[in-house]
């Protein structure tokens, strides 16, 4: 990201673990490192109070300290927020399967339109926002592509499995408040790590296939028929 970004870290602690959320490990990396990846470069500036944001700052991202998010989602939100013309915009998602299967115990906000709002803001006006400005921020909906994972095992046994289905996406956002959110964030981050393809990553995967040899001689159908 090239946009100026701030992380509003109020020192939240994980419920029942009483450890700083910023240090919570997701795929063996602290949440703050994932935020740096999503918002940088340059790395976001961390503030403990909104008043620490410089008065001359404008056109910037503001992310609450307990929010996990991905770089692809940040790009889409910034683009949509700029186009909206709102002075202060807040990220919103449609209540699809990804949202329904990941929001348990989270402090997300349900809008009157059914869309779910997260602690990610775009500020076009100069200076720090007030708490009332954040509360009244204009919702900007980002469209995400979901990859549903159906619980076929339960369905085959005649159990209603709809409530056990999940969805994954490379445009992910989560509020990390409870220790159980670390489990959700880890499998979400793992999916993003492998499937958020960049040209460099695609070339690395292709190189790995070439080095491994494809098709493998061990899977030669002629050899298999002889055995």
DSSP state of 178: B
Distance CA 12, CA 203 (A): 40
CATH of the domain at 122: 3.90.550
DSSP state of 80: H
Residue 192 lies in a domain: yes
Q: Is the pTM of this model over 0.75?
A: yes
- The predicted model gives 197-204 an average pLDDT of 52
**Cis bond before residue 41 (omega within 30° of 0):** yes
Q: What is the pLDDT at residue 163?
A: 60
More confident residue, 1 or 57: 57
Q: What is the pLDDT at residue 192?
A: 87
Residue 227 lies in a domain: no
Residue 142 lies in a domain: yes
Residue-number span of the structural domain to which 51 is assigned: 4-197
**How confident is the model over 77-101, as pLDDT tens digits?**
999 999 999 999 999 999 999 999 9
Q: Examine the pLDDT at 227 and tell me if it is beyond 50.
A: no
Q: Examine the pLDDT at 205 and tell me if it is beyond 50.
A: no
For the chain, the distance separating the N- and C-terminal CA atoms, rounded to the nearest angstrom, is 55
More confident residue, 37 or 154: 37
Number of structural domains (the chain) is: 1
Residue 224 lies in a domain: no
**How confident is the model over 4-19, as pLDDT tens digits?**
999 999 999 998 888 9
**How confident is the model over 150-195, as pLDDT tens digits?**
766 556 656 555 566 788 899 999 999 999 999 999 999 998 888 7
């Amino acid at each position: 990201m090239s946009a100026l970004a701030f992380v509003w870290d109020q020192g939240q602690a994980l419920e029942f673990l009483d450890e700083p959320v910023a240090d919570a490990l997701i795929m063996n990396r602290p949440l703050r490192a994932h935020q740096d990846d999503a918002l940088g470069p340059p790395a976001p500036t961390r503030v403990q109070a909104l008043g620490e944001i410089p008065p001359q700052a404008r056109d910037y991202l503001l992310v609450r300290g307990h929010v996990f998010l991905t770089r692809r989602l940040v790009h889409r939100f910034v683009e949509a927020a700029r186009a909206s013309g709102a002075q202060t915009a807040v990220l919103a998602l449609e209540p699809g399967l990804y949202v329904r299967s990941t929001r348990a115990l989270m402090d997300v906000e349900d809008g009157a339109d059914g869309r779910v709002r997260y602690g990610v803001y775009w500020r076009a006006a100069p200076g720090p926002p007030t708490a009332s400005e954040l509360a009244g921020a204009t919702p900007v909906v980002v469209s995400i592509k979901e990859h549903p994972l159906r619980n076929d095992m339960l369905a085959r046994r005649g159990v209603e499995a709809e409530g056990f289905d999940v969805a994954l996406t490379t445009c992910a956002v989560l509020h990390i408040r409870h220790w159980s959110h670390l489990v959700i964030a880890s499998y979400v981050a793992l999916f993003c790590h492998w499937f958020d393809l960049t040209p460099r990553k695609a070339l690395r995967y292709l190189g790995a296939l070439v080095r491994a040899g494809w098709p493998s001689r061990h899977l030669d159908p002629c050899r298999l028929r002889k055995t």
